[in-house]
Amino acid sequence: FCYARLGNYKLNLTSYYHMKSDFVSNFAIKVYGEDSHSRSVWVSPGATAREACHMLVQTAHCSDQENWALLEVHPTLGLERCLEDHEVVLEVQATWSLKGDTRFMFCKNYAKYEFFRKPMLFFPESMISDSADVNKGMTSSELIKNLLKSGTCPEIQGFLHVKEPSRKAWKKVYFFLRRSGLYSSSKGSSKEPRHLQYVADLGDLNVYTVVNSRKLYGAPTDFTFCIKPSKNPIRVQDLKILCAENEQTRTCWTSAFRLFKYGKQLQRNYEMSKAAPQKVEGSKLADGKASLVAMDFSGKAGGRVIQNPMEAQSAEREEGLAWRRREALRCSLPNLNSAVSPSSIHKTQLWFHGGVSRKEAQRLIEKQGLVDGMFLIRDSQQHAQCFVLSLCYQLKTKHYLVIPFENGGRKYYTMDDGDTLFIDLLQLVEFHQINKGILPVCLKHPCVCVAL
């Protein structure tokens, strides 16, 4: 009896030491949500950003698994970058200064691999270097697609504003981005070797977007980014701050930096992101993917898939109008039984952001990824009782005024002067998720703020 008890004691003690060993081998990292609250997460020494995001998805009870990202944020310097899925979190944290305010932030990022899906939008032909590949008869479009498939990037060229060291002045310089590094030309856009100056080695750099760059650095535009040595704590004197003329140009440069640095690894990360399970609203298919097609149910033999694109568009318009009429009739019936009044139901939705300003809305959408269909709705700051739909399309944020409209003694909302009416903002969003209406693209990705 005594021997058995002693044996059990030894077993429990051994288990305790194993548990203690596992506990000590992990490290706590503090991660902030977009509401400025933080959560500590225990990660192993080799945990990647993708694995850390997966743990945060579980602990924060997020409804979907994908398009989450870990951002490295330097608030004082206005620097942000999205960690690549394969980067080791503790190795990134080890480069931070102990006295700084650097932090990790957990948020959505839909644009992490968007250049694989729409390469011509991210790499305009005007910025593709007239390299040997193009001269051999390959068009810029073919070059980009072939290179992205192999996990590489075409050479990029163009003018950028650069902040001169220890001075407030900015100078416009022509840059070339190649496999061998970043170069600047001392004579206009000349690429002769005697005019090229070596600027940086891409393998040792991280690229950051710069927030509030006009105020912090006196930048000539808002489309600013910077590069810095990846293994050193951030010091202002080590930053190479660059400024583009527009968002497409900035996105092209930052995407090219990532591709040149990580190459085939980004292609593997992209393939892994596509293979991961995703939550699909509505019905799910066996392979985890959902497909929406235009259907015609008017015949006696059941439904048929509409193959003709023109017929499909016509069916979409008719269904949208019929759906609006049904909803308007439903809401005009007496004794409408609803737990939330139509005038306030939008306040419960993740895409509603209250009284944020136009600039803040653009910043939120930019942080979560400039992909077509990213949207939010906010209160209008200029028009009482009105709202604004902020929507991303082709790397730009467009804003649409939603105004109240009375018809038949009832209050509706409209974006097209009353041609299309909605009983509330929820109906407006649901309609435009399947019908473009006056918008350039359907609403696809709600811009949400995550609370940890």
The first and second tokens of residue 370, run together, are 């400039």
Taking alpha carbons only, the member of 153, 176, 178 closest to residue 259 is 153
All structural domains of the chain, each given as residue ranges with its CATH number in brackets, are: 2-107 (3.10.20.90), 114-275 (2.30.29.30), 343-446 (3.30.505.10)
CB-count burial class (<10 Å; 0-12, 13-18, 19+) for 408: exposed
What's the CA gap between 172 and 175, in Å, rounded?
10
**DSSP 8-state code for residue 54:** H
- Tell me if 87 sits within 8 A of 81, measured CB to CB: no
Q: Whats the size of the chain, residue-wise?
A: 452
Query: How many other CB atoms are there within 10 angstroms of residue 47's CB atom?
Result: 20
pTM of the model: 0.74
Amino acid at 11: L
* CB proximity list for 283: less than 8 A, separation 6 or greater: 290
Q: What is the pLDDT along the chain (452 residues), one digit of tens a residue?
A: 333 333 333 334 333 334 444 445 789 999 998 877 888 999 999 999 999 999 998 887 776 777 899 999 999 999 999 999 999 999 999 999 888 899 999 999 999 998 888 888 888 888 887 654 444 556 667 777 777 776 677 889 999 999 877 777 899 999 999 888 999 999 988 888 899 999 988 888 899 999 999 999 999 999 999 998 887 777 788 889 999 999 999 999 999 999 889 988 998 998 888 876 544 333 333 333 334 556 665 655 555 667 676 676 676 666 655 655 555 555 555 544 444 444 678 888 989 999 999 999 999 999 898 999 999 999 999 999 999 999 999 999 999 999 999 888 888 999 998 899 999 999 999 999 999 999 999 999 999 877 77
Per-residue burial over 290-312, b = 16 or more CB atoms within 10 Å of its CB, e = otherwise: eeeebeeeeeeeeeeebeeeeee
